[in-house]
Amino acid sequence: MKLLKKAIITAALAGGMLAVGQAQAANWLMLQGTEKPGQAARAKVWGFVQVQYQNDNSDANKAGGYIPPKLTPPNLSSQSAFNVNRARIGARGTGMPLDSNVNYFVLVEFGNNGITEPGGSFAKLTDASITLNHIPGARIRTGLFKYPGAEEGLQAIHVFDWVNFTDVSNQMLLERFPNQSYTPNIPPQSIPTGTDLQGFDDGVGAFRDVGIQVFDSFMVGAAKDWDLSYALMVGNGNGLNFSDNNSKKDIYAYFSAEKVFKGKGPFREGMKFLGWSQTGVRSYDGNNDGVSENYDRDRWGIGFKLKKSNYRVTTEYMSGDGMIMVGVANPSFGMGPGAGKPGKPGNGLLAEADGWYLEGGYRIPKSNWELDLRYDTYDRLKGDKFEVEFKTWTVGAQYFFNKKTRVTANYASRNYEAINFPSGKGPNAQLDGVNGRASIQLTHIF
């Protein structure tokens, strides 16, 4: 109900903006969902490649074996690996260049990551959408695309300033979908792992859904320098999968207000405030009785981003209620006594979580270097005996060979702790020994 209220307020705020002038493509909703009127190509082929090396310095569990946070994603089979984690190619434009009222966006993932690794896909369609721009103030986008939500998920990944997501985004927002039937948890594995620690049958949701979205953006204010955007979306709530596994639909609402300083595109300078919510239902045999039950999955968040001159600061708070994943090795959504027992301690199907992050970057003047710093925290299973706090400091540096090519180096210092258990007991028997993780990634956009 609270989420519905938030959605209504967001929609009402957005509705009040319909009478003012339209913005150019200058925010994620517009950049990804529209083309420049009168200028779009019939088919602009584009994409990007990211190659990375990650090294995890974590220690094995005291009882032996490793858990996913101590191994390199997405294969979770070793503690260091080279990987082509993203290789995407696509096309966008307008099929009939004379008519700017219709545009499309198609993108395919060939890299090895959470989208493709579970299930062993060679490639996966991540975006296939058509936008109709006929109604002033109410553009319509339909198909498979990024749903309106948190800045960390909605922003274009090829300009993301970090190698890995924050824990709150990775665990709470980047959805792992319940398997068709109850699936037991996977115990810690030795290296090389004999069993795939990735317990989910399908790839991650990749902050995407199949559905229909109404959205637009408007420049307001005396100097037309405030960019107000809204989006309302209805989707399957089943990520990159084309079908829905229940009749319940997910509802997404988004609103942002940005004071624009200068520039355009993904590197536009401005000060943005945003809020979003999503509510849906997932079907899963969470209690292992051979029958699927419905579980609510609600998320909401607020955020702020400032980008000016050589500085960048972003902070977001996110909250989740229901369908809280407790690890990719735990497809039951429960751990310990909570495995297969919704509502019991250690089970995330009916639990809550929240988290926030603060990150920033400083581009050194007259150089190609940028220095980055991020702190993120995630409180999983809030108020539960098996509550775990994930706290991470990440330092980073980026070197820009040119506007389309950069190398990103990160070192993450992680402190994961089940706060209701002493060291070595309960979840800490596995979380003890989670140490730093170093990563370096080369990105080239074409």
Q: Is 100 in the site for another protein (CB under 8 A)?
A: yes
| 390 secondary structure, DSSP code | E
Dihedrals φ, ψ of 32, to 5°? Answer: -90, -25
In the complex, the smallest distance separating the C-beta of residue 189 from another protein, rounded to whole angstroms, is: 52
- Asked if residue 430 lies in contact with residue 63, where contact means CB atoms within 8 angstroms, the answer is no
Q: Report cis status (omega within 30 of 0) of the bond before 187.
A: no
Q: Report cis status (omega within 30 of 0) of the bond before 192.
A: yes
Q: The tokens 């948890």 sit on which residue?
A: 185
- Identify the CA nearest to 146 among candidates 204, 103, 186, 195: 204
In the complex, the smallest distance separating the C-beta of residue 224 from another protein, rounded to whole angstroms, is: 10
Q: Is 41 in the site for another protein (CB under 8 A)?
A: yes
User: If phi over 0 gives left and psi between -120 and 50 gives alpha, with beta otherwise, what is residue 207?
Assistant: left
In the complex, the smallest distance separating the C-beta of residue 25 from another protein, rounded to whole angstroms, is: 8
Using CB under 8 A, pick the residue from 9, 13, 18, 24 that binds another protein: 24
What residues between 150 and 189 interact with another protein by CB under 8 A? none
Amino acid at site 234 = V
* β-strands 311-321, 405-418 pairing: unpaired
Q: Is 23 in the site for another protein (CB under 8 A)?
A: no
Report CA dihedral (401, 405, 409, 414) to the nearest 10 degrees.
Answer: 150
**With respect to another protein, which residue has the nearer C-beta, 136 or 184?**
136
Contact window for another protein (CB under 8 A) among 3-11, 38-46, 234-242, 379-387: 38-46
Q: Is 1 in the site for another protein (CB under 8 A)?
A: no
Q: Is 220 in the site for another protein (CB under 8 A)?
A: no
Q: Is 137 in the site for another protein (CB under 8 A)?
A: no
In the complex, the smallest distance separating the C-beta of residue 135 from another protein, rounded to whole angstroms, is: 14
In the complex, the smallest distance separating the C-beta of residue 39 from another protein, rounded to whole angstroms, is: 4
Q: Is 37 in the site for another protein (CB under 8 A)?
A: yes
Q: In Å, how far are 36, 40, 129, 245 from 99, measured between CA atoms? A: 11, 10, 17, 37
Count of residues that bind another protein according to CB under 8 A:
14
Angle at 370 between CA 368 and CA 372, to 5 degrees: 170
Interface mask (CB under 8 A) for another protein, residues 311-340, using x and -?
------------------------------
**With respect to another protein, which residue has the nearer C-beta, 227 or 352?**
227
In the complex, the smallest distance separating the C-beta of residue 23 from another protein, rounded to whole angstroms, is: 11
In the complex, the smallest distance separating the C-beta of residue 102 from another protein, rounded to whole angstroms, is: 12
Q: Is 36 in the site for another protein (CB under 8 A)?
A: yes
**With respect to another protein, which residue has the nearer C-beta, 92 or 282?**
92
Q: In Å, how far are 5, 31, 326, 379, 412 from 69, measured between CA atoms? A: 36, 34, 12, 16, 12
Q: Is 99 in the site for another protein (CB under 8 A)?
A: yes
In sequence order, the 6+-apart residues with CB closer than 8 A to the CB of 369 are 363, 397, 398, 399, 400
Residue 321 structure tokens: 């209620």
**With respect to another protein, which residue has the nearer C-beta, 38 or 192?**
38
Q: Give the C-alpha separation, 396 to 393, whole Å.
A: 10
In the complex, the smallest distance separating the C-beta of residue 265 from another protein, rounded to whole angstroms, is: 12
* β-strands 44-56, 80-93 pairing: antiparallel
Contact window for another protein (CB under 8 A) among 37-45, 117-125, 294-302, 388-396: 37-45
In sequence order, the 6+-apart residues with CB closer than 8 A to the CB of 128 are 105, 106, 107, 143, 144, 145
In the complex, the smallest distance separating the C-beta of residue 44 from another protein, rounded to whole angstroms, is: 8
Quick one: how far is CA 143 from the chain centroid?
Answer: 18
Q: Give the C-alpha separation, 144 to 125, whole Å.
A: 9
In the complex, the smallest distance separating the C-beta of residue 35 from another protein, rounded to whole angstroms, is: 9
Contact window for another protein (CB under 8 A) among 36-44, 196-204, 343-351, 426-434: 36-44
In the complex, the smallest distance separating the C-beta of residue 38 from another protein, rounded to whole angstroms, is: 3
Using CB under 8 A, pick the residue from 40, 115, 144, 206 that binds another protein: 40
What residues between 79 and 98 interact with another protein by CB under 8 A? 96-98
Amino acid at site 432 = D
Q: How many CB atoms lie within 10 A of CB 263?
A: 12
Contact window for another protein (CB under 8 A) among 34-42, 186-194, 200-208, 277-285: 34-42
Residues in contact with another protein by CB under 8 A are: 24-25, 36-42, 96-100
